[in-house]
Amino acid sequence: MEIDALLVRLTAPDDDSRQAAVDALAAAGEAAFDPLVRVIAQGGPAATWRAERAFHLLADVPLTRYAAVARHPSPAVRRCALWKLAMSGDAAVPVAEGLVPLLFPDAEDTAEDTAADTRKLVRSTFEHIGPGLVPALRRARRTAPGRHRRFLVETLVAVGGWDALDTADQAVVRRLIAVKRLTEEPARTHVCGSWYAVRTTDQSAVLAAFGLSDPMPVTMRLGQSAWNRDTHGSGEHRGCSRAYVSPAFSGWTLVFGRPLRHVEPSDRAVRELCARLSAEHGAAHWYGQSCGDDWNAWCLAEDGEAVRYYDLHQRDAWFGGPHPAEAGRYLPHEDSGLPEDWAEGIALTDTDALRARLTRLEQELGLPEPCHTAGIAGRTSVDPASFGPDTPFTGHGVLALTSCGREHGGPPGVLEI
């Protein structure tokens, strides 16, 4: 069937015909490339997304063709071409190097707002392609106009991580961190993931206990940014290559992340580790909480003994009786006593209204308070979700490498300073 006829069938009334057209166009390869570019550029919801799918699946089309249309006037065509390159990984490095100039808005004959949008897409594409692009980005960093160098530094970190920066750029970043640390105040932590609390102000001892090395002084904001990114990011070794070790808050040092990759949350090793640390420092706890579901977990150890382990999703791992910090509250697996329709009429996204309704009903019905990880942390050590400008602290935080990080390097990604 002719290419034009297949394009018409993209809007056929039945699903089978539309899918058959997508498959046939993809199999046509090079012959369908330019016609699909034309359809995508024209837009229109009826056929465009199917044309985009066929475009991504084209057989035996060299990546140079996609790189060429990454400069197309149509934003949709540029987006589709860059997506194809992003999904091609290392194979796209040779052709993607030629797209580095798109990171300079004034280097292309396009409106600045359009070029700015394009360079964000290009950077995202480069992140997916990976560190093979670091040499080309370093060359561009040395020759780019001054006002674009910050974006290039961020792109280097996004693609290759800290080690992608040369020594001069690393020194600049270290100085910036040092300056910001002078006036930084604690701020509420977005709690999602797992962390340890050790009752000590001896950061070096904590680093040694967890086998962490190469500590780099960071702001609290940067450390929390790293933890949040590692928790929610994807990619091999992202969650196990580094940990953020905090300043001391009210005598407690916190370790955010997975400093020991062989220790799983439900593993007996968590209890053993906390017990060992508590023998040295009097108390050591582990906490886990998710912002995406109802996961709550904690392990509490005192004076060399694990006294409580609770994990909502691992009932067979529960250990120890109710802890005093849980007293008078209902655990996540227990019935709250609230009526089933307690949130009726309130949007799930209206957290303030939900919280107000919940508080009112708890008072009216005489219900106990919920027992969640953040509260347990606050009653047994410190609650990072309640940090604020008045939270006392001593020392400074560091990002440190785990055994995984020493083997594979730290993860790429831009962090907030």
Q: Residue 115: pLDDT above 70?
A: no
DSSP conformation letters of 159-205: HH-GGGS-HHHHHHHHHHHHHHHHH---------EEEEEES-S-HHH
Verify that 20 and 96 share a domain, yes or no: yes
Handedness of CA 276, 280, 282, 288 (dihedral sign): negative
> CA-to-CA distance for 403 and 309, rounded, in angstroms?
26
Verify that 17 and 122 share a domain, yes or no: yes
- Residue 184's identity, in one-letter code, is E
> CA-to-CA distance for 260 and 270, rounded, in angstroms?
10
- Residue 254's identity, in one-letter code, is L
Three-state SS at 382: coil
Expressed as residue numbers, the domain containing 261 is 187-334+364-408
Verify that 97 and 201 share a domain, yes or no: no
> CA-to-CA distance for 157 and 364, rounded, in angstroms?
53
Please name which of 54, 48, 86 lies closest in space to residue 67, comparing C-alpha atoms: 86
Verify that 395 and 273 share a domain, yes or no: yes
- Residue 351's identity, in one-letter code, is T
Domain boundary among the residues 79, 99, 127 is at: 127
Verify that 299 and 368 share a domain, yes or no: yes
pLDDT-based confidence at 316, cuts 50/70/90? confident
The 10s digit of each residue's pLDDT in 127-157 is 999 999 999 999 999 888 888 888 999 999 9
> CA-to-CA distance for 69 and 48, rounded, in angstroms?
16
Domain boundary among the residues 127, 154, 170 is at: 127
pLDDT-based confidence at 109, cuts 50/70/90? very low
Verify that 254 and 372 share a domain, yes or no: yes
For the chain, give the mean pLDDT. Answer: 90
Beta bridge partners of residue 198, listed in sequence order:
253, 284
| 216: CB partners within 8 A, 6+ apart | 162, 174, 398, 399, 400
Half-sphere exposure of 410 (CA within 13 A, CB side): 25
> CA-to-CA distance for 127 and 107, rounded, in angstroms?
21
Verify that 116 and 217 share a domain, yes or no: no
H-helix segments, 43-148: 48-56, 63-69, 75-87, 93-96, 112-129, 134-143
- Produce one character per residue of 338-363: b if its CB has 16 or more CB atoms within 10 Å, e if not: eeeebbeeeeeeeeeeeeebbeebbe
Please report whether residue 91 resides in a domain. yes
Element (H, E) at 149: helix 149-160
- Residue 284's identity, in one-letter code, is A
Q: Residue 107: pLDDT above 50?
A: no
More confident: 72 or 348: 72
Domain count, the chain: 2
| 132 secondary structure, DSSP code | G
Helices and strands (DSSP H and E) totals, the chain: 17, 11
The residue behind tokens 């106990």 is 368
> CA-to-CA distance for 278 and 303, rounded, in angstroms?
5
More confident: 119 or 401: 401
Verify that 7 and 123 share a domain, yes or no: yes
pLDDT score of 188: 93
Please report whether residue 158 resides in a domain. no
- Residue 327's identity, in one-letter code, is A
Q: Residue 228: pLDDT above 70?
A: yes
Please report whether residue 84 resides in a domain. yes
- Mean pLDDT lowest for which of 61-70, 102-111, 391-400? 102-111
Q: Is 332 exposed, middle or buried (0-12, 13-18, 19+ CB in 10 A)?
A: middle
Verify that 231 and 314 share a domain, yes or no: yes
pLDDT score of 264: 64
> CA-to-CA distance for 185 and 183, rounded, in angstroms?
7
pLDDT score of 45: 67
pLDDT score of 262: 59
> CA-to-CA distance for 316 and 182, rounded, in angstroms?
47
* Averaged pLDDT, 12-20: 90
Please report whether residue 286 resides in a domain. yes
Verify that 217 and 103 share a domain, yes or no: no
Please report whether residue 40 resides in a domain. yes
Structure tokens at 279: 């023998």
Q: Is 251 exposed, middle or buried (0-12, 13-18, 19+ CB in 10 A)?
A: middle
Verify that 193 and 122 share a domain, yes or no: no
Verify that 380 and 249 share a domain, yes or no: yes
Please name which of 370, 343, 337, 369 lies closest in space to residue 356, comparing C-alpha atoms: 343
Please report whether residue 351 resides in a domain. no
pLDDT score of 108: 46
Domain boundary among the residues 127, 143, 173 is at: 127
> CA-to-CA distance for 375 and 38, rounded, in angstroms?
58
Please report whether residue 166 resides in a domain. no
pLDDT score of 131: 94
Q: Residue 352: pLDDT above 80?
A: yes
Please report whether residue 250 resides in a domain. yes
